[in-house]
Amino acid sequence: MKALKNPRIVILLLLLVFSIYMINPAPGQEGVAIRSISNGTAAAHAEPSFKTQSNLQPRSRELIMQLNHQQIHTLQDYQQAISSLRPFQNITITTNKNSEIYRLMVQPQYKVTELNETRTINYTEEVFNQTLNKTVNVTKTKEVAKIKKEVIGYEDLGFNVYNAPKSNIRMGLDLAGGTRVLLKPMNKTTPEELDITRQNIEQRLNIFGLSDLEVRQTTDLSGQEYISVEISGVNQEEVVALLGEQGKFEAKIGNDTVFIGGKNDIPYVCLGGNCAGLDYQRPCGRNSDGTWVCTFRFSISISKEAAQRQADATQKLDVVTEGAQAYLSEPLDLYLDDELVDSLRIGSVFKGNPLTSIEISGPGFGNTEEAARKNALENMRKLQTILKTGSLPVKLEIVKTDTISPVLGQKFTQNAILVGVLAIITVAVLIFIRYRDWKISAPIVVIMLSEAIIIIGIASMIRWSLDLSAIAGIIVALGTGVDSQIVIADEILHGENKYSRNWKDKLKSAFFIIMGAYFTTVVTMIPLFSAGAGLLKGFALTTIIGISVGVFVTRPAYAVIVRMLKERS
């Protein structure tokens, strides 16, 4: 009880309690956590809608507890539950956050084939009426190929989920799985440009349906700036491709640029639902070389100024007739990073009319119809993202990518924990063999464990992810900790002042040695903070946190504990 009155012990205990509170462990937590929701999927259209936030503490994430009144304990349960759905089925989802029940409808997957017949369809179009001097909706008819639309299955619900986190410990990429990309600006950039770029990338990824990500600016010793992007959990190669693109989008008629990507010219981009998806008017088909091509389309609204530019550009064009259709002599060409994506024929009725609603389309290719469809949808998402966010102010080059599959990451985590436990047992055994006195060795093990907990607690608090290099840092810190404990133990047992009644005297030289070791380790870690785009920053930071906790909190407490145990006997 006396121990509880000692301020050093009190500080240690308080810090321990605080760390455990920050880690917030819940070993039995069930359910699956929602990492993100893909656009245009059933999940994105749920009633009420899901709110996903980035940078939540792991334990604060929304968990799916029930799907169609079926309890979801683990990821397997979830996968099993979604494997037995039917298209158009109405399902309910219960989460831990909202007392309300989410309702959503399973979206069907279609296979569309073009038939050798045509049919007439009615459609509505915005047309500029010169006499009224405003755009009006006009219903028109057109002749299109007849298509057969078959339901061949159902689309994924669109939840990106993982087993419910059992604590607030954030696993770094090499332990949790995910993708890390390091981007380097190709030209000299101002801090403002870089900041816009960073925000833009973050926004692009959010539109892509990824919210569990971190976009950071880093600098190396020579002052070279980098942008590092970390996306947890998923391997998304198309995302990596998106990051490398500047995304300069231009729509041109002839040589006139009509509008460009970004909010100024394009206030609205349809991301899903009925106004975006595969173009069933232009179904998938085979090229002469046997590859498949599919077409996507989505609608956008362009600003009044852009619409006027288009009207001016089309005014100059001639009308050409092809069969029953009349077109303008020049198409609307869509360029992405100076490469032609698609050419859209413009109907003759649009000549000189400022249109604000435009349908954008483009192709996707693949060796099979399935692959082409997937590619078309990926291209659509990319283009939607770029149109919405505009181009990056600088051109970026991908200089480093790391991808770790979540399965592999999990195996590494288990292994790292095993190594940690074995290391602590080894230390305990060796220390006991050396001193043959549990009063010396038991506190060393207790202190080691508390140090590990405090380091992890602080990492959880500052939302720092533990990766393998951070674990290496924890090993250094614990190792240095044990070393200092040994110095203290030896000083107490065999030190020159061992018969001294004054504990301060006894430990004076021990603390000199410990402080010396502390400062040398800290200064060796400092250069790593910025060297090499901060790739070893995790290691340096964890080491410094760990040894600082050791020197200022746990070491003094250890001395007090040993002293009390020794004084009692």
CB of 29 to other proteins, least distance (A): 24
Site membership for other proteins, residue 216 (CB under 8 A): no
Contact segment (CB under 8 A) with other proteins among 60-68, 121-129, 363-371, 505-513 equals 505-513
Please say which residue, 286 or 400, places its beta carbon nearer to other proteins.
Answer: 400
The verdict on 219 binding other proteins (CB under 8 A) reads no
Residue 401 found at the interface with other proteins (CB under 8 A): yes
Cα separation values, 253 from 229, 325, 335, 345, 350, Å: 36, 19, 11, 10, 13
Scanning 221-283, the segments in alpha helix (DSSP H) are 237-243
Q: Which residues, including other chains, have CB under 8 Å from residue 119's CB and lie 6 or more apart?
A: 143, 144, 146
> Which residues share a beta bridge with 465?
170
Question: Binding to other proteins by residue 241, rule CB under 8 A?
Answer: no
**Rounded to the nearest whole angstrom, what is the least distance from the CB of residue 257 to other proteins in the complex?**
32
In the complex, minimum distance from the CB of residue 406 to other proteins, in angstroms, rounded to a whole number: 8
Looking at beta carbons only, is 121 or 421 nearer to other proteins?
421
Helix runs in 495-528, H state only? 503-525
| Angle in degrees, 0-180, between the axes of helices 537-549 and 468-494, rounded to the nearest 10 | 30
Q: Please choose, out of 127-135, 301-309, 382-390, 499-507, the segment that lies near other proteins by the rule CB under 8 A.
A: 499-507
Shortest separation between residue 121's beta carbon and other proteins, angstroms: 40
Burial code (b: 16+ CB inside 10 Å, e: under 16) for 8-43 equals bbeebeebbeebbebbbeeeebbbbbbbbbbbbbbb
What does the H/E/C string look like for 424-480? HHHHHHHHHHHHCCHHHHHHHHHHHHHHHHHHHHHHHHCCCEECHHHHHHHHHHHHH
Q: What minimum distance in Å lies between the beta carbon of 100 and other proteins?
A: 35
Q: Note whether 242 binds other proteins by CB under 8 A.
A: no
Q: Name which position in 99, 139, 141, 222 contacts other proteins (CB under 8 A).
A: 222
Is residue 230 at the binding interface for other proteins, with CB under 8 A as the rule?
no
CB of 315 to other proteins, least distance (A): 46
Judged by CB under 8 A, the number of residues near other proteins is: 82
- Of the candidates 528, 557, 561, 562, which one interacts with other proteins according to CB under 8 A? 528
- In sequence order, the 6+-apart residues with CB closer than 8 A to the CB of 283 are 112, 113, 114, 145, 147, 294, 295
Residue 275 lies near other proteins (rule: CB under 8 A):
no
Interface residue with other proteins among 517, 548, 563, 564 (CB under 8 A) is 517
Of the residues 294, 306, 336, 475, which one makes contact with other proteins according to CB under 8 A: 475
Residue whose CB is less far from other proteins, 97 or 566: 566
Nearer to other proteins, 134 or 434 (CB): 434
Q: How far is the CB of 527 from other proteins (least distance, A)?
A: 4
Q: Which of 58, 247, 262, 409 binds other proteins (CB under 8 A)?
A: 409
Q: Does 368 bind other proteins (CB under 8 A)?
A: no
Q: Is 53 in the site for other proteins (CB under 8 A)?
A: no
> Considering beta carbons, is residue 307 or 559 the nearer one to other proteins?
559
Residue 123 or 529: the one with the smaller Cβ distance to other proteins is: 529
Smallest distance from the beta carbon of 238 to other proteins, in angstroms?
12
Task: Assign 2 to helix, strand or coil.
Answer: helix
Q: What size, in residues, is the chain?
A: 569
- Which of 49/368 has CB closer to other proteins? 368
Q: How far is the C-alpha of 261 from the C-alpha of 281, rounded, in Å?
A: 25
Q: What's the rounded Cα separation, in Å, for the pair 363 and 296?
A: 6
Q: Which of 92, 224, 287, 367 binds other proteins (CB under 8 A)?
A: 224
Minimum CB distance to other proteins smaller for 31 or for 473: 473
For 64, residues 6+ apart whose C-beta sits below 8 A from its C-beta are 31, 32, 33, 34, 72, 78, 93, 94, 95, 159, 161
User: Within 150-189, which residues bind other proteins (CB under 8 A)?
Assistant: 174, 182, 184
Residues 565, 569: Cα–Cα separation, whole Å: 7
Would you say 102 or 511 has its CB closer to other proteins?
A: 511
**Judged by CB under 8 A, does residue 416 bind other proteins?**
yes
Q: Pick from 521, 551, 555, 559 the residue near other proteins by CB under 8 A.
A: 521
| Alpha-carbon dihedral 538, 540, 542, 545, rounded to 10 degrees | -140
From the number of C-beta atoms within 10 Å of its C-beta (0-12, 13-18, 19+), residue 425 rates as exposed
- By 3-state DSSP, what share of the chain in percent is helix, strand and coil, each rounded to 5? 45, 30, 30
CB 355 within 8 A of CB 304: no
In the complex, least distance from residue 293 CB atom to other proteins, rounded to whole angstroms: 20
- Helices assigned H by DSSP within 24-97: 75-83
Q: What angle do CA 244, 247, 251 make, to 5 degrees?
A: 155
For residue 398, give the 3-state DSSP assignment. Answer: strand
Q: Which of 400, 438, 462, 463 binds other proteins (CB under 8 A)?
A: 400
Of 419-458, binders to other proteins (CB under 8 A) are 419, 422-423, 426-427, 429-431, 434-437
